């Protein structure tokens, strides 16, 4: 019976979302303050109802109610308790409910933390979010109800897909969705600004912390997905240019452009319309991503068995959101913020370059992702676009981007001189060349492109650090403004990421071997000795567990225990890689398959991955920069237009 | 022409040229890295050039997987019900690879007529069939109840 309550609660949430979309919006046009005030109550009630609904589905998993079809398909009586919680979002229906839950939480957060905004603007923002929620709730209720009963009830569940029985999957989807869905707030601010024909640029400042938080979540969500793929898929890759990865990467690219263009619009008023367009695009791309993943039109490692009606629904929803917002933009944008001018050498120009590169990157990924669909629709055959396409384009596009970062940091708004910048950036430039050259000299197999990548990473890091040092010297105090710290952290993260990426892409060694117990294999400075396998039992699987001793020279440094698991219920096999992680290198061993009858000989993957941790370390730094920037005190002050001008002169940076 | 107009005109021209170059480079990269999906029937009916990379998809025919005794080399037959193709692969097969399973092999045809794969993919989910494979099987008249 309780499960039906979950569904009733969802229906009630849909009604509340209608109220949230409609009543405050009417209030803004009639000037009825009581109508506008409904927005807070409706937002909080909606959030509560969806939490109840989500809680009921979770409890169905915890108590193993196999009369619920979704539970029966994705759980099993042997499933360990912590995976029963994450099993809730392991398949289509539940992950949509998670999407909606996170949307409701974002809406409630806006309702609670935006009390300082002008009444009308705030009511508009919440109403727009209400309509987004209506669309998603309809989608869940009409095409993907997680509360459907199974009659007769199943005795035993099918079990959770073993790939998803993992810590990474417990946290990856919620964080990713926090980012994805969080862009709906930036979207709603932009639409509200367009509806109100906002002439002042205050709304950009109000929307900045929300955008930064969403972007930071998306950053870490994507990084976690990459980390999960690395250790769980068992073949040592961290990014596959898979359509579903691209689906999350496109909003990130546009989001990155957006947080930079917001800075320009807030400080200087320039790029006003462009900022609006980016805010609309970031969320539209999030929705497109949801469509691509959920409709099953794409060939992807993430593709679940799919249902065409779902695809059609999201497509219609997407058309309404994108079409509606762009129409509004076309009608209103020409009357919006008119920006201040700027010279060719100025911070605006460098940020323009940033935006250009990120927009082009997003367009390239979009092209590579949608091109196969286009070709298929034209009946010209079924194709896929290989990773080299993306690799090539990103390598080239990163060149101007990375070169420009320190210039963007150092340059002044409106007008600067090239010789001043060149003078200030002389040392970071020479030092980074030295670093890149030095690393190349020590590791000749690095090659030119990767050596350039290391140089670029060092250039970004050193440029950022020199800026802080110079600021401290000039101010003669040890206090670094939070905004500078945030920016430095995020940019240094980019540098760390670049170095990791460059090192791992050329210095990695990978070997697929046939190994029998007692065999040894030498890779880099390490010797891998295979001792054989034994059988171990897990809660819902049994596994062949290999034992490897890793020597550096003659010294044993560690033992690795990769597993080949057999999950009883679904009857499928899973590779569990064993990794010895390190700051400068990972050692990675995974078992392929037994090659003879008595299980003595195994196919084995042995990898040596230098600096791979730097990729995720960089992402963590970038995320931290985002959160730190969002926490900046000036976003929490009530700021009439006059104060804003004063703050501008005080704040030195983006 | 006023100086402002002239500056704008130059700006617009620079953008057009830049976008065109970018588009050409992108299309070039796209075409070079495009892999066609091909079914065993296509291999039989079309004269596909040896040495051109593509994605071959179908079911692994029962009883055809055979392994070398001293290396990772493996051979199997991929079929769509109507025709089949011999595949050779030197490496580790994915966990979900087994006889009767839908797979995609990436590689090229060799002069002897066999397909030399450098990558073999099977999907995450055992109920899941790559859409292209499902499509190809349907075309070849092979009925799959579990789709």
Cα A359 from Cα A261, distance rounded (Å): 11
Q: Measure B34 CA to nearest chain A CA, in Å.
A: 5
What letter does residue A80 receive in the DSSP assignment?
-
Say whether pLDDT at A21 is over 50. Answer: yes
Cα A647 from Cα A584, distance rounded (Å): 43
- The half-sphere exposure of A263 on its side-chain side, counting CA atoms within 13 A, is 26
**pTM metric for this prediction:** 0.91
Q: At what angle do helices A347-377 and A387-410 cross, to 10 degrees?
A: 170
Say whether pLDDT at B135 is over 90. Answer: no
Residues of A in contact with B96 (CB under 8 A): 572-573
> Which one of B8, B34, B93, B123 would you mutate to disrupt binding with A, by most A Cβ within 10 Å of its Cβ?
B34
Confidence label for A298 from pLDDT (cuts 50, 70 and 90): low
The lowest-confidence range among A7-21, A365-379, A443-457, B2-16 is B2-16
Nearest CA in chain B to A91: B125
Say whether pLDDT at A648 is over 50. Answer: no
- Provide the phi-psi class of A241: left if phi over 0, else alpha when psi is between -120 and 50, else beta: left
Q: With CB atoms and an 8 Å threshold, state whether A388 touches B36.
A: no
> Which one of B26, B106, B145 would you mutate to disrupt binding with A, by most A Cβ within 10 Å of its Cβ?
B26
Confidence label for A296 from pLDDT (cuts 50, 70 and 90): low
Residues of B in contact with A392 (CB under 8 A): 29, 33
Return the percentage of chain A with pLDDT > 90, whole number: 64
Residues of A in contact with B30 (CB under 8 A): 367-368, 371, 385, 389
Residue-wise pLDDT for B25-61, tens only, equals: 888 888 888 888 888 988 888 878 877 888 898 889 9
Say whether pLDDT at B147 is over 50. Answer: no
Say whether pLDDT at A408 is over 90. Answer: yes
Specify the 3-state DSSP secondary structure of A601: strand
Q: How far is CA A417 from the centre of its chain?
A: 37
- The full DSSP string for A526-553 is EEEEEEEEEEEE-SSEEEEEEEEEEEET
Segments of A267-422 assigned E as strands: 383-385
Question: Is A304 in CB contact (< 8 Å) with chain B?
Answer: yes
CB atoms within 10 A of CB B123: 22
Asked if A487 contacts A463 with a C-beta cutoff of 8 angstroms, the reply is: no
Provide mean pLDDT across the span A199-203.
82
Asked if A517 contacts A596 with a C-beta cutoff of 8 angstroms, the reply is: no
Q: What does the pLDDT read at residue B130? A: 63
Question: Is A301 in CB contact (< 8 Å) with chain B?
Answer: yes
> Among all chains, which residue has been given the structure tokens 């999201």?
A314
ipTM tops 0.90? no
Q: With CB atoms and an 8 Å threshold, state whether B93 touches A575.
A: no
Question: Is B45 in CB contact (< 8 Å) with chain A?
Answer: no
Question: Is B71 in CB contact (< 8 Å) with chain A?
Answer: yes
Cα separations (Å) of A86 from A12, A54, A83, A470? Answer: 25, 12, 5, 48
Residue-wise pLDDT for A580-616, tens only, equals: 999 999 999 999 888 887 778 999 999 999 999 999 9
Cα A285 from Cα A643, distance rounded (Å): 35
Question: Smallest Cβ distance to A382: which of B30, B37, B72?
Answer: B37
Q: What does the pLDDT read at residue A422? A: 92
**Mean pLDDT, chain A, whole residue set:** 89
Say whether pLDDT at A563 is over 90. Answer: yes
Cβ-Cβ contacts under 8 Å for B145 (sequence gap 6 or more): none
Cα A573 from Cα B99, distance rounded (Å): 14
Q: What does the pLDDT read at residue A642? A: 39
Q: What does the pLDDT read at residue A297? A: 63
Q: Per DSSP, what are the bridge partners of residue A535?
A: A544
Of A526, A502, A522, A525, the residue nearest A513 (C-alpha): A522
Say whether pLDDT at A641 is over 50. Answer: no
What letter does residue A339 receive in the DSSP assignment?
P
Among B residues 102-131, those touching chain A with beta carbons less than 8 Å apart: 123-128, 130-131
């Amino acid at each position: 019976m309780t499960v039906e309550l979950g569904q009733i609660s969802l229906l009630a949430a849909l009604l509340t979302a209608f109220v949230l979309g409609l009543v405050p919006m009417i209030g803004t046009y009639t000037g009825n303050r009581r109508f506008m005030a409904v927005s807070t109550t409706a937002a909080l009630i909606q959030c509560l109802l969806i939490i109840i609904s989500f809680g009921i589905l979770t409890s169905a998993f915890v108590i193993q109610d196999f009369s619920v079809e979704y539970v029966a398909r994705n759980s099993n009586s042997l499933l360990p308790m912590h995976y029963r919680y994450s099993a809730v979002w392991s398949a289509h229906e539940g992950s949509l409910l998670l999407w909606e839950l996170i949307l409701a939480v974002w809406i409630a957060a806006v309702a609670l933390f935006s009390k300082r905004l002008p009444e009308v603007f705030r009511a508009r923002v919440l109403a727009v979010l209400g309509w987004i929620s209506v669309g998603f709730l309809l989608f869940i209720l009409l095409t993907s109800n997680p509360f459907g009963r199974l009659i007769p009830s199943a005795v035993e569940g099918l079990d959770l897909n073993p790939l998803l029985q993992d810590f990474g999957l417990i946290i990856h989807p919620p964080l990713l969705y926090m980012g994805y869905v969080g862009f709906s707030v930036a979207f709603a601010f932009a639409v509200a600004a367009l509806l109100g024909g906002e002439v002042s640029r205050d709304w950009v400042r109000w929307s900045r912390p929300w955008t930064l938080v969403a972007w930071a979540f998306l950053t870490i969500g994507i990084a976690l997905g990459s980390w999960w793929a690395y250790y769980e898929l068992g073949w040592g890759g961290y990014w596959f240019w898979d359509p579903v990865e691209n689906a999350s990467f496109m909003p990130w690219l546009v989001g990155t452009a957006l947080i930079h263009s917001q800075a320009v619009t807030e400080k200087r008023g320039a790029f006003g319309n462009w900022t609006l367009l980016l805010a609309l695009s970031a969320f539209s791309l999030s929705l497109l991503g949801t469509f691509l993943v959920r409709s099953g039109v794409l060939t992807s490692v993430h593709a679940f068995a799919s249902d065409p009606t779902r695809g059609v629904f999201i497509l219609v929803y997407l058309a309404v959101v994108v079409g509606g917002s762009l129409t509004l933009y076309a009608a209103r944008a020409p009357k919006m913020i008119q920006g201040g001018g700027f010279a060719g050498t100025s911070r605006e120009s460098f940020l323009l370059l940033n935006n250009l590169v990120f927009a082009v990157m997003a367009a390239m990924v979009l092209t590579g992702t949608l091109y196969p669909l286009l070709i298929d629709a034209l009946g010209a055959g079924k194709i896929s676009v290989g990773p080299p396409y993306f690799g090539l384009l990103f390598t080239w596009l990163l060149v101007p981007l990375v070169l420009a970062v320190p210039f963007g940091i150092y340059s002044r708004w409106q007008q600067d001189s090239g010789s001043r910048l060149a003078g200030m950036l002389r040392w970071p430039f020479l030092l980074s060349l030295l670093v890149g050259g030095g690393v190349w000299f020590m590791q000749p197999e690095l090659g030119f492109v990767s050596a350039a990548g290391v140089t670029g990473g060092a250039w970004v890091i050193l440029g950022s650090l020199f800026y802080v040092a110079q600021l401290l010297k000039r101010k003669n105090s040890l206090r670094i403004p939070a905004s500078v710290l945030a920016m430095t952290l995020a940019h240094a993260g980019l540098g760390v990421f670049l170095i990791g990426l460059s090192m791992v892409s050329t210095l990695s060694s990978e070997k697929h071997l046939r190994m029998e117990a007692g065999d040894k294999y030498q890779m880099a400075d390490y010797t891998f000795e295979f001792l054989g396998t034994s059988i171990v039992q897990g809660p819902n699987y049994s596994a062949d567990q290999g034992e490897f001793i890793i020597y550096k020279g003659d010294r044993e440094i560690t033992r690795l225990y990769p597993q080949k698991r057999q999950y009883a219920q679904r009857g499928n096999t899973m590779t569990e890689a064993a990794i010895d992680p390190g700051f400068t290198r990972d050692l990675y061993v995974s078992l392929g398959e037994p090659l003879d009858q008595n299980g003595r000989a195994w196919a084995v993957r042995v990898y040596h991955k230098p600096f791979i941790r730097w990729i995720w370390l960089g992402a963590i730094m970038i995320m931290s920069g985002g959160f730190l920037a969002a926490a900046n005190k000036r976003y929490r002050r009530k700021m009439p237009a006059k104060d804003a001008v004063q703050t501008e002169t005080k704040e030195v940076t983006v | 022409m006023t100086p402002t107009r002239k500056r704008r005109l130059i700006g617009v021209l620079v953008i057009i040229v830049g976008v065109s170059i970018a588009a050409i480079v992108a299309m070039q990269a796209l075409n070079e890295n495009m892999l066609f999906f091909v079914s065993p029937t296509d291999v039989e009916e079309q004269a596909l050039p040896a040495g051109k990379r593509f994605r071959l998809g179908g079911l692994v025919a029962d009883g055809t997987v055979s392994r070398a005794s001293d290396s990772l080399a493996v051979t199997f037959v991929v079929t769509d019900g109507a025709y089949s193709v011999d595949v050779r692969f030197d490496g580790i097969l994915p966990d979900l690879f087994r006889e009767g399973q839908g797979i995609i092999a990436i590689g090229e045809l060799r002069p002897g007529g066999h397909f030399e794969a450098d990558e073999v993919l099977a999907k995450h989910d055992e109920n899941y069939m790559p859409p292209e494979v499902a499509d190809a099987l349907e075309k070849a008249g092979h009925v799959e109840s579990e789709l």
